[in-house]
Amino acid sequence: MTVPLLDIRNLHLAMRSFEGEAHVLNGVELCVNRGEIWGLVGESGCGKSLTGLSISRLLPEPPARYISAEITLEGRDLRALSPREMQALRGKRIGMIFQDPTTNLNPTARIGTQLVDVALAAARHDPTILPPARSRRAGARALALDMMRQVGIPDPEARMMSYPHEFSGGMRQRVLIAMALIGRPDLLIADEPTTALDVSVQAQILTLLKAMVAEHDLGVILITHNLGVVAQTCSHVAVMYAGNVVERGPVRQVIERPAHPYTRALMAAIPTRDTPRGGLQGLEGTVPDLIQPPPGCRFAPRCTRATEACRAAVPPLTSQGPGHEVACLHPVTEDAPHV
Amino acid sequence: MITFILRRLLMLVPVLVGLTVIMFAIARLLPGDPVGLAAGPNATAAERAALAAEFGLDRPVWEQYGTYVAGLVQGDFATSLLTRRPVAADLAAYLPATLELVLAAMLLAVGLGIPLGLLTALWRNRWPDYLSQVLAIGAISMPRFFLGLLLQLCFAMWLNWLPLAGRLPIIVFPPDPITGFITIDAALTGQWDVLRTALLHLLMPALALSLSPLATIMRMMRSSTIEVMGQDYVMTARALGLPRHLILTRTIARNAVSATLTVIGLYFGWLLGGTVLVETVFDWPGLGLYATKAILSQDMMPVIGVALVIGLLFVFANLLIDLAYGLINPKVRYS
Amino acid sequence: MTDAVSVPPRPDRLARALFRFRQSRLSVIGAVMVAVVLLLAVFGPMIAPYPQDIAGAVSTAERFQPPSLAHPLGTNELGQDVLSLTLGGTRVSVLAGFGVVLIGAAIGTLVGAVAGYVGGWTDEALMRLTDLTLTIPGLILAMAIAAALGPGFQNMVLAISLSWWPGYARLVRGEVLAAREEVYVTAARALGAGPGRILFRHVLPNCVSPIIVKMSLDMGFAILTVAGLGFIGIGVRPPTPEWGTLLSTSRAYMPDYWWTAMGPGLAMFIAVFGFNLLGDGLRDSLDPKGRR
């Protein structure tokens, strides 16, 4: 078996807040190979974004604190790297795209400058990404132009001189994708890349993302709360609840045969063509207190199938089919009622 | 951009009119006896009446105002009651000294305040940051004239390192005025020893004047840097592996400076006012000293003249700041 | 299962502010300094070692004595005890500072409230006047008014106040403009409350905490301005001791009799420092978004 691109095991993370230390990630397990697009889904506050940030170690410590974690990128232990080595990986091996394209570009620098800066930073560790040119800067500029063309920005020569506020939201997200991919990363972490965009632009960006993955043979983690986006874009999905991955597997299997009661509840909350009027089901209760979490399965207080055993210890991920794993003692076995 | 500048310059007209009205109201409507002070205690009633008639002080206020404005249009700032010299000539003589002092102070305040603010923001919540916050409040609380006095006591009287007061010693001939700034003129004409002397004279007054705005700009810069550091685009820059120095200069500093700039414009006006006290301490022959002497003898024409010039400078300074702001922050481009 | 999360009871706003204030050691130090200055302003003349010097007594035999046990800050050119004069000057400075800030805030609040509430050309005219006053440096304006009004404590306070109000006018106008769009104001209007009642009962009370913050931040600067006028020679006349005037007199006796400057100079610095620390702390705790 080959070494996976990204392997996260036993990721426990705590965050200090005014009320106390919250145990926000509680043993996240995730494994991503090249060419796979993993959808990471869950309610807000379940730890999706924190998982993404803790991979590239972008969380300030304190308030964040790693309790235990094994995060390896092609076998290299990311936690053992020095800050310098980690910085060398960012942009180069790991690209990131964040949610709000209006706030993620430096408002006082030209688009071209921002792209060229990232390209130059990446080229310091791998000069081969630059096309041959008179100087490094000229090479970086040519690469930036090429990237802008690839992500579908019309008239890139002229647009390089523009400032972010002169771009539409969709165009800015394209710029951010170009910036994330310009260093030829192996892993792309996209944190809600389409949430702030119009629905029509959303589809364009997701299509673009898929095309880029195919072209560059990337592994992708797509963080989202939108199961529709996952169904449309991803090859695999991991469902998170209160700091745990509760179910993971190929996207078709998980959506057609969701085994975890929480996944099932999430899906029941999506309206479809066949949903009768008034038949939409919300999920009772709220995410548990993470400062003093219940000892067992964190979903147990909201779960209709919970038993004493559920409240005693966190259930481990167990196989539920080829590549399909679920962290539940009483998984649901029937097919999903709709979809 | 030209229309933007022209429109802003056009706004000067109502400002000027307003300033003259306010200052005239203060000068003529409030009680006070300028004629008595100018004529001296032994003057007879007839002598006073003659003096009042000569300066038109016996006529109604609105008529005096009309005469003044009519003169102003031709560049005539009326005549000082006390010295009988035209105010315009005095203003022209004293303005460069004040500007030289204020600009030197501004240079110190901005040149040191911005990097210090950036540094303390990076050291946030560690002891150098706490210490500099206390020092900054202390610097703002220090009366400029007391600071000036302490500087004089230390460096001029006890240590004898720096000259006590004035712009140049009497025995040194100032360079031929080109800009009116002795330091620049001396440099332009290659009189290096004069430049050295002038700089030594400038050092203490500029320090005394700049300390409080320096501290304020530093605090402003610190808080806007902290705000910028929490912005999403800084996280993105880190996530994309930009080197630290680039994040610091291009991403953080640039955005923080653009937030600090607007305040600097306001402080320029404040400096122009504060120069009164520093000029008094250091016997600096500028507008402040001139206005003080005039005010003490209720000679109002020079005071109105100074207020007008300073008001104009204030508006100009803010125009310049707005232009600089447009350069740094592309979002506000003279709409 | 809606009780899964227990929400702690929301503490009272004032208690929160007080908590934040006490968290900051600097503001507590500032509050203590201000308390000492205020106590000295009240009791200074009583605890001064030579109270007769505050009233203007002269003893030429004791001229220019350096600091000693009998005269901790030395004596001046008239043989007066510098410590006693400095203590006596506290009352003048603090009173003048309070006067300036109170009158300035009152004028400014009135102008700002009327401008913001009435709107239209009244607003336009008042705000033009405000901007205009802001273009003349406060000290020069205050000097001109004080010179025209003539010497004396009241005239000086009035003169500075007349240059002090524009900041408050802008602040209050902004708050009023924001508040009159609030739902509760619309509700009060719908219930038939008159403009005066709406302004004083519903709009202005919401401006109180930024005004208090600004007043406390301004207190130090007001004391500095008072001293500045005294230093130039406008304002309170001797024999009433005033820090700026005392400092100005002592300039003539530098460097040999340096101690004559230290008492009033340091007193000014300490008083202003205290008020600034306090004002800073108050701003952070009462008006956290006002931090700029």
Reported as a single tens digit per residue, the pLDDT across A172-191 is: 888 888 888 888 888 888 88
Q: Among the CATH numbers 2.60.40.10, 1.10.10.370, 1.20.810.10, 1.10.3720.10, which is that of B92-328?
A: 1.10.3720.10
pLDDT for A49 equals 83
pLDDT higher than threshold 70 for residue C202: yes
User: With an 8 Å Cβ cutoff, are A104 and B232 in contact?
Assistant: yes
B164 interface with C at CB cutoff 8 Å = no
Please indicate, yes or no, if residue A56 is contained in any of the structural domains. Answer: no
- Pairing type for strands A64-73 and A236-241 reads unpaired
Residue B30 pLDDT more than 90?
Answer: no
Q: What is the mean pLDDT of residues A324-333?
A: 79
Output the pLDDT for position C292: 38
Tokens 């414009």 identify what position?
Answer: B265
**Inter-chain CB pairs, A–B, below 8 Å:** 82
Per-residue model confidence (pLDDT) at position B112: 93
- Contact list, A84 vs chain B (CB under 8 Å): none
B145 touches chain C (CB under 8 A): yes
Mean pLDDT of chain A: 80
- In one-letter notation, the amino acid at residue B195 is L
**How does residue B205 score in pLDDT terms, banded at 50, 70 and 90?**
very high
pLDDT tens, residue by residue, A2-54: 777 888 888 888 888 767 777 788 878 888 888 888 888 887 777 888 888 88
- State the burial class of residue A83 (Cβ atoms within 10 Å of its Cβ: 0-12, 13-18, 19+): exposed
C103: confidence class by pLDDT, cuts 50, 70, 90: very high
A166: CATH:
3.40.50.300
* Chain C stretch 208-267, residues whose beta carbon is closer than 8 A to a beta carbon of chain B: 220, 224, 227-228, 231-234, 244, 247, 251, 254-255, 258, 261, 265
Residue A168 resides in a domain: yes
Query: Are the CB atoms for C116 and C123 separated by under 8 Å?
Result: yes
Contacts of B62 (CB under 8 A, 6+ apart): none
Number of domains in chain A: 2
> Which 3 state secondary structure label does DSSP give A243?
coil
Q: Is residue A127 part of a domain?
A: yes
Q: Tell me: pLDDT of B149 over 50.
A: yes
Q: Which CATH code is given to the segment(s) C69-290? A: 1.10.3720.10
Cβ-contact B255, B228 below 8 angstroms: yes
B311 touches C at CB < 8 Å: yes
DSSP designation for A270 = S
Question: Residue C7 pLDDT more than 60?
Answer: no
Which residue of A lies nearest to C8 if distances are taken between CA atoms?
A19
- Partner residue facing C1 (CB), from A19, A289, A302: A302
Residue A330, pLDDT > 70, answer: yes
Among C1, C2, C5, whose Cβ lies nearest the Cβ of A289? Answer: C5
In a 3-state reduction of DSSP, which class is residue A39? Answer: strand
Residues of B in contact with A92 (CB under 8 A): 241
Contact C204, B123 (CB under 8 A): no
Q: Residues of A near C (CB-CB distance < 8 A)?
A: 19, 284-286, 288-289, 301-302
Q: What is the arithmetic mean of pLDDT over B41-54?
A: 77
The pairing of strands A325-326 and A318-319 is: antiparallel
Residue to test with chain C: of B28, B29, B149, B154, most C Cβ within 10 A: B149
Chains that touch C (3 or more CB pairs under 8 A): A, B
**How near does any CA of chain B get to the CA of C128, in Å?**
9
pLDDT at res. C8: 41
Give the lowest-confidence range in A80-84, A124-128, B223-227. Answer: A124-128
**Per-residue pLDDT at B165:** 78
Task: Give the pTM.
Answer: 0.81
Distance from CA of residue A44 to its chain's centroid? Answer: 13
Q: Which residue has the higher pLDDT, B114 or B330?
A: B114
Give the range with max mean pLDDT: A124-128, B153-157, C162-166: C162-166
CA–CA distance from C67 to each of A216, C46, C64 (Å)? Answer: 82, 21, 9
First to last CA, chain B: 9
- Of residues B296 and C94, more confidence is placed in C94
Check residue B64 and give left, alpha or beta (phi > 0: left; psi -120 to 50: alpha): alpha
C36 vs B312 pLDDT, higher one: C36
pLDDT at C207: 78
Per-window interface: C 126-165 vs B, CB < 8 A: 128-129, 132-141, 143-145, 147-150
Please answer yes or no on whether B233 and A95 come within 8 Å at the CB atom. no
| Contact between C2 and A288 using a beta-carbon 8 Å cutoff | no
What average pLDDT score do residues A89-111 get? 82
Confidence bin at A63 (pLDDT 50/70/90): confident
φ and ψ at residue B13, rounded to 5 degrees: -60, -55
Q: Of residues A205 and C113, which shows the higher confidence score? A: C113
Q: Which residues from A are below 8 Å from B329, CB to CB?
A: 107-108
The residue type at C102 = L
Q: Are A140 and A116 in contact (CB under 8 A)?
A: yes
pLDDT of residue C291: 43
pLDDT exceeds 70 at position A274:
no
CA distance B27 to C181: 42
Chain A neighbors of B254, CB-CB under 8 A:
106, 108-109
Q: Is the pLDDT of residue B88 over 70?
A: yes
pLDDT tens sequence across C252-287: 887 888 888 888 899 999 999 999 998 888 887 776
Domain residue limits at A110: 101-184
**Closest chain A C-alpha to C6 CA, distance in angstroms:** 8
The pLDDT of residue B335 is 43
Arithmetic mean of pLDDT over chain B = 82
Confidence of residue A272 (pLDDT cuts 50, 70, 90): low
What pLDDT does residue C105 have? 93
Are C6 and A284 an interchain contact pair (Cβ–Cβ within 8 Å)?
no
Residue B132: band (very low, low, confident or very high) from pLDDT cuts 50, 70, 90: confident
Q: Residue C23: what residue type?
A: Q
Strand order in the sheet with A244-250: A94-97, A187-191, A219-223, A37-41, A236-241, A244-250, A325-326, A318-319
Residue A20 structure tokens? 């106390």
Which residues 1-60 in chain C show a CB within 8 A of chain A?
1-2, 4-6, 8
Show the beta-strand stretches assigned E in chain A: 6-16, 21-32, 37-41, 64-73, 76-77, 94-97, 187-191, 219-223, 236-241, 244-250, 318-319, 325-326
Domain boundaries, chain C: 69-290
pLDDT tens for B278-293 read: 998 888 888 888 888 8
Does residue A163 contact residue A110 with C-beta atoms inside 8 Å? yes
Contacts of B141 in chain C (CB under 8 A): 220, 224, 269, 272-273, 275-276
Q: Using a CB–CB cutoff of 8 Å, tell me whether B80 touches chain C.
A: no
Check residue B31 and give its pLDDT: 67
pLDDT on residue C271: 92
Q: Is the pLDDT of residue A338 over 80?
A: no
Averaged over A44-72, what is the pLDDT? 80
- Closest residue in B to C254 (Cα) is B153
pLDDT digits (tens, 9 = 90+) for C39-87: 988 887 888 787 777 777 777 777 787 888 777 878 877 778 888 888 8
Residue B249 near chain A (CB below 8 Å) = no
Tokens (6 digits) for A337: 């009622």
Of A71-75, A184-188, C198-202, the poorest mean pLDDT is in C198-202
